[in-house]
A = this chain, B = another copy of it.
Amino acid sequence: MKHTFKQLSTLLALLLMVCMVSSEVIAQQSLADVKKKRGLTDDDVLSAVKTFMPRGGRDEYFAFVGSGNSGTMVVYGLPSMRIYKYVGVFSPEPWQGYGFDDESTLMLKKGTNDNLLPGYGDMRFPALSETGGKYDGKYLFYTDGGNSRIALLGLDDFETKQVLMHPFFVSTFPGVAVTPNTEYVIHTSQFPTPWNEKIASVDNDYESTFKSGITMWKFHDSEDAAGTGHHIGRLIKEESFTVELPPFTLDYFDAGRAASNGLVVGLASFKNNHYVYVFDYQKAAKLKTTKLNDMALVSTQDLVDAGAFALIPIAAPARSVKTDPTGNFFITAADEAQVFDFAKTKAALDQKQFGQAVLGIPTLNTEAVQYGKLALGQKVMDIAFDYRKNVAYASAFNDKKIVRWNYKDLKIESELALSFRPGHLMTPQGNSAEPHSNYLTVTDKEGLYDKHINIGPTRPSYQHLIDISSDEMRDIYTMSIPQSNLYGSVSVLRTTIKPIIRYPLGTNTRTGEISRYRTVAGQEKIEREGNRVHVFGTLIRSHITPEIVEVEEGDVVTFHLTNLERAEDETHGFTVSTYGIHGSFEPGKTASLTFKANRAGVFPYYCTEFCSALHLEMEGILLVRPKGYKPSPEEAKEAALTPQELEQYKKNYEDKIKVINETQEVINSVVAYLKENKYEKYPYVEALVVDAFDQLEQAKTSKANYERYAAEGKWRDAFLWAEQYWQYQVKTADVGLRAKKLLSELINK
């Protein structure tokens, strides 16, 4: 029996364990119900929990992917796979007024040869700016394969800052790479064409007239002398150069890093022969140049003579070539991947150990510069790098699998079978010296097999998230991305990017300069010169000032608007009914909207972005007088008020002054608390307080105005200015109260 009691006590111990996990088990009841109801497996539950983002949660990474042919950039989060933004880059984007306001339109037009506005862009492989081979979170670059353009985006506000059209490339590879300190941004041709608007026969003149080329765009970061945190770098055409090459079709390329800094490797083909090209841009930068359409041009002969360019023959076409994180190897994405040794390649190039030339370009001996090779699968589309040393991933399209392999040992480590045909790959920071690789994204564009929801003949692309944090790889999320034809993406640790919340007041966000049209409260005005009307207006909850604008039919009208807000996420939009124009005004931004008032009538204008519960009050009226219109005598009396009306305004004014005094008391008590508790020791609280004082500063003019009008007995104007003053006061109180709340939390921590 003793034995039985021992058993019993063991069982009791077990029971205790059961009790200990019982709350877990009870919670699981409900989980089990949901699982059953929704037909989910245990694996699904784990995937759900790995990707779910609770309210207020922050993603680990920002990911950027070109939307293919819509000309916009998609920003999403890992691991939530939620899409945060579509940013207009190569095509107009009405939500943000991109290609609608004068500032962005001017920028887009500068990026064309003919001052027209291309509405389309083919964006595939973006690149993030680097410092010392690592992502610095400052800029992102894109090329437009459809229209030979290159774009610079600032990541402090996720806006496009520069668009340039290539001065003579007709067809460009829709991808870009940067050198390890972003000294240069690399941009190549894709299909060979004649340059400079020449015509030629594809059959007879091909080798003599069709060309390919590589452009090294010189990049300068901004100084940010103003200390605003708002950086605007620039691609400088005058310091850039292009190397001229025979008619190779160029494909994916990458820059060297660390020991291989100074080299670029890429894919080239000619008549079914395939190569990896090696380009020493540091040598090329020292060569003499001629000019073509104002761009410095290095001749093929000079390039070859300097030992700055050669081809490595490869047996079969590769679909990508990438530099590994260390900068020691470059590797082709091919069914049999080839790992090349950068040091050997550089030595062979420097020593001109050349074999037979192709179209005048010397070749290197493939075996001599190759480290090794490994068969990975059928139709290998792409490779991506792991933080694990010498480990990479490959996607085998036909085999429907992901292969994890070691490119130094030349061994396959493991494979993940997929339910779809995988395309391009991305690991966070994988194209830098510092890959983070908890996650791998894989594109899935093969909709033939009815795996996705039917939403009519046009379908989104899909991006899968693979959990690669452990030895076992797991496909944990299938994300649809609308308006896109997915290729490459890049991703960076979220905290590496330092987004701003507001602009210095009056910023032209495309140039980073304070706009000459910056308008502060109380200085709103309408200026006219002939048929040209400039409206200098302001936007602040919940008023558009001025509230009435009168012009004549045929006038060309520009609304120069400044958003006076300092609060977070206080964007105002602006449109004039039926005039088809739209602007987006983030806190501090000044932008201009120009249109021809070609229809007479009355046209309401209003704020188009929900900005507060009083959003609908942000409206005004544009009166477009018919040509030659004379106001009737009745209208001339417009300003006159009846004594009853004047009395009513006086009462309104006096009521408002009472409210103003009460609000001021609240502000005073908040200010006392803040000072007493040394708010200036807490940077975020201090920023709020500065913001609050800024509001009050702007309010001074309003106060002077209402006091003056009251003294003159002009009660309507006095009331309207008192109302404006109170608006500022409320905002000051609002920001102040938030600062107080935050401060008390910090103190009581």
> Is there an interface contact between B580 and A116, defined as CB atoms closer than 8 Å?
yes
A215 within 8 A of B: no
A567 within 8 A of B: yes
> Is there an interface contact between A577 and B146, defined as CB atoms closer than 8 Å?
yes
When chains A and B are docked, how far (Å) is the Cα of A91 from the Cα of B582?
Answer: 11
> Is there an interface contact between A458 and B21, defined as CB atoms closer than 8 Å?
no
Which chain B residue shows the least CB distance to A67?
B95
Which chain B residue shows the least CB distance to A443?
B610
When chains A and B are docked, how far (Å) is the Cα of A33 from the Cα of B588?
Answer: 45
> Is there an interface contact between B602 and A570, defined as CB atoms closer than 8 Å?
no
Instruction: Quickly give the copy total for this chain.
Output: 2
When chains A and B are docked, how far (Å) is the Cα of A205 from the Cα of B193?
Answer: 65
27 A-B contact pairs sorted by A residue (CB < 8 Å): A4-B8, A21-B25, A27-B45, A47-B52, A56-B452, A59-B453, A68-B608, A68-B609, A69-B608, A83-B460, A83-B481, A83-B482, A95-B483, A117-B580, A120-B575, A146-B580, A147-B579, A148-B577, A157-B456, A170-B603, A193-B604, A199-B625, A203-B635, A205-B634, A445-B610, A446-B569, A453-B494
> Is there an interface contact between B601 and A455, defined as CB atoms closer than 8 Å?
no
When chains A and B are docked, how far (Å) is the Cα of A58 from the Cα of B573?
Answer: 36
Task: Provide the residues of chain B in CB contact with A196, threshold 8 Å.
Answer: 601
Interface residue count for A (Cβ, 8 Å)?
A: 178
A429 within 8 A of B: no
Interface residues of A in 419-459 (CB under 8 A from B): 419-420, 423, 445-448, 450-459
> Is there an interface contact between B94 and A120, defined as CB atoms closer than 8 Å?
yes
State whether A24 and B28 are in contact (beta carbons under 8 Å apart), knowing that A52-B48, A83-B482, A170-B577 are contacts in the complex: yes
> Is there an interface contact between B47 and A201, defined as CB atoms closer than 8 Å?
no
When chains A and B are docked, how far (Å) is the Cα of A190 from the Cα of B604?
Answer: 10
Q: Which of B15, B58, B608, B610 contacts A423 (CB 8 A)?
A: B610
Interface residues of A in 113-132 (CB under 8 A from B): 113-114, 116-122
State whether A201 and B93 are in contact (beta carbons under 8 Å apart), knowing that A82-B479, A608-B485, A609-B68 are contacts in the complex: no
> Is there an interface contact between B608 and A146, defined as CB atoms closer than 8 Å?
yes
> Is there an interface contact between B58 and A46, defined as CB atoms closer than 8 Å?
no
> Is there an interface contact between A54 and B40, defined as CB atoms closer than 8 Å?
yes
When chains A and B are docked, how far (Å) is the Cα of A249 from the Cα of B484?
Answer: 40
Closest 10 CB pairs of A and B: A447-B569, A118-B580, A48-B52, A457-B586, A70-B95, A120-B582, A48-B48, A158-B456, A157-B456, A94-B120
When chains A and B are docked, how far (Å) is the Cα of A116 from the Cα of B581?
Answer: 12
A478 within 8 A of B: yes
Query: Shortest distance in angstroms between A221's beta carbon and chain B's nearest beta carbon?
Result: 18
Task: Provide the residues of chain B in CB contact with A499, threshold 8 Å.
Answer: 454-457
Task: Provide the residues of chain B in CB contact with A459, threshold 8 Å.
Answer: 569, 571
> Is there an interface contact between A457 and B609, defined as CB atoms closer than 8 Å?
no
When chains A and B are docked, how far (Å) is the Cα of A585 from the Cα of B478?
Answer: 25
> Is there an interface contact between B454 and A203, defined as CB atoms closer than 8 Å?
no
State whether A50 and B68 are in contact (beta carbons under 8 Å apart), knowing that A479-B82, A480-B83 are contacts in the complex: no
> Is there an interface contact between B458 and A96, defined as CB atoms closer than 8 Å?
yes
> Is there an interface contact between A603 and B479, defined as CB atoms closer than 8 Å?
no
Interface residues of A in 50-79 (CB under 8 A from B): 50-56, 58-59, 62, 67-71, 74-75, 77
When chains A and B are docked, how far (Å) is the Cα of A318 from the Cα of B171?
Answer: 57
When chains A and B are docked, how far (Å) is the Cα of A459 from the Cα of B484?
Answer: 21
A49 within 8 A of B: yes
